[in-house]
Amino acid sequence: MRMSSLRAQVAEIIAANPSQMPGQIAAELGVTEFDVVANLPQEMVTVMPRAELDNLMAELPEWGNMTTIVSVAGSIFEFKGSFPMGKVGHGYYNLVTKGDGLHGHLKLDNVAEVALVSKPFMGSESHSIQFFDGDGAIVFKIYLGRDRKRVLLADQVERFTALRNQFS
């Protein structure tokens, strides 16, 4: 499928159903989720250079509370809180957390693409950082945080916008 026609198909689907998620669009079109994200309307996506991944991972713990999402076999796991600092060891980026919080070991070598996505969700402004493997499948996503009134945290929106501007 030519990318220009894919871009047009993605735009058409979003125009008809703005709340449809990239994963749903990918399944409908028979392409990868990254193919869909990379072909979102230009104002919705910026693909970061892969070489910036280490800098991004070092910066994320400073952003404050966000929502990290991992989807596996139709199940969705969410963690709300600060993204932890990490350190490289034994082939993984090991999340360093004292006490409660997000724990784990990320195989960052398997992350091939990082996309900054600004796509409304359920009628609300939404911004996320999405990590994809070499096959175009989502590895995990980090959504900007919201306050108790469900309003995006302004300082995170500023940081996200600065990242987008840096790489667009």
DSSP string for 57-102: HHHGGGS-EEEEEEEETTEEEEEEEEPPEEEEETTEEEEE-SSSS-
DSSP state of 95: E
| Number of residues written out for the chain | 168
- Exposure of 76 by Cβ count < 10 A (0-12 exposed, 13-18 middle, 19+ buried)? exposed
Residuewise pLDDT in 10s, the chain (168 residues): 455 699 999 999 999 998 899 999 999 999 999 999 999 999 999 999 999 999 999 999 999 999 999 988 888 999 999 999 988 888 888 888 777 778 888 899 999 999 999 998 877 899 999 999 999 999 999 999 999 999 999 999 999 999 999 998
Alpha helices in the chain (DSSP H): 3-16, 22-29, 33-38, 53-59, 154-167
Structure tokens at 110: 């398997």
Kindly calculate the radius of gyration of the chain based on its CA atoms and give it in whole angstroms. Answer: 16
Structure tokens at 78: 């969410």
Residue corresponding to tokens 């596996």: 72
CATH number belonging to domain 42-167: 3.40.1570.10
CB 25 within 8 A of CB 6: no
pTM: 0.92
pLDDT of residue 158: 97
pLDDT of residue 4: 62
